[in-house]
Chains A and B, each alone.
Chain A
Amino acid sequence: EADIYQTPRYLVIGTGKKITLECSQTMGHDKMYWYQQDPGMELHLIHYSYGVNSTEKGDLSSESTVSRIRTEHFPLTLESARPSHTSQYLCASSESRYEQFFGPGTRLTVL
C-alpha cells in the first residue's frame, strides 16, 4: 500500500483566507505532483516537482503555489481562497513512469 498522506481530508473555508494543503510521502520518491479534480471528475495537473528545490507549473493554470524544501513534503498554498478554488486536490508521487501513487485527496470548499 502506498504511503502518501494528505491533510486535511476535508476543508470548508471562507473567501479570502490563506490555506495550505499538506502532502507527504514516505517512499523517498523524487517526483511529486498536484492534480485538481473537477466536480465532473476530470483530473488536471497543476504543479509538479522532480526533486528538492524543483517546482514547475502543470497543464492547468492555477493561482496556487507549491514548495519542495524536503523530498517527502510537497505543500500547496492558496494565498487568498475564492469559491472558484472549490475542488478536490490530489497529490501523487512516483519513482518512475510506471506508476504514480496517489494520496486520498483533499476536498476543498470555499464559501
Chain B
Amino acid sequence: GEDVEQSLFLSVREGDSSVINCTYTDSSSTYLYWYKQEPGAGLQLLTYIFSNMDMKQDQRLTVLLNKKDKHLSLRIADTQTGDSAIYFCAETPGTALIFGKGTTLSVSS
C-alpha cells in the first residue's frame, strides 16, 4: 500500500531556514500537501502542490517536488518560534489523505 515517510524531528534556531523532507510512493497522487498541527489542535493546511509542478512559493514557504524521486520538501524561510509544530506531508492517491508520521519542528531563540 501507500506509504509516506518523513524524518521525525528537526531543530533549528530562530531566523534560520527549515527544510522538512518527505518521500511518497504513489506516483498517481495528483496533489501533495503540507499540513501543520499545533499542540492540542487539529490539522491546518499550509500549502499544496499539483503533481505537474516543480516548485511553489507562498510567502515564507517554498515547496519543491521531485516526481522522479517521489520527493517533496517544505522550506520555511526565517523560521520563527511560532513555527514550532508538527508538519505532516500527505498525498491523495485515492479516497482520502495518506499522511506521513509527521516531523516535529522545534525552534529555539
Contact = CB atoms under 8 A, between A and B. Distances in A.
Interface residues of B, number: 23
A43 B99 contact: yes
Contacts, number: 55
Interface stretch (B39-47, B52-60, B65-73): B39-47
* Listed residue (B35, B42, B100, B102) with the most chain A CB atoms within 10 angstroms of its CB: B42
A102 interface: yes
B11 interface: no
Contact of B101 (A42, A100, A102): A42
A104 B42 CA distance: 4
A59 B96 CA distance: 9
A66 B101 CA distance: 25
B48 A42 contact: no
A74 interface: no
Given A90-B43, A99-B48, A59 B1 contact: yes
A48 B95 CA distance: 9
Interface of A: 4, 6, 33, 35, 40-45, 48, 56, 58-59, 90, 92, 97-105
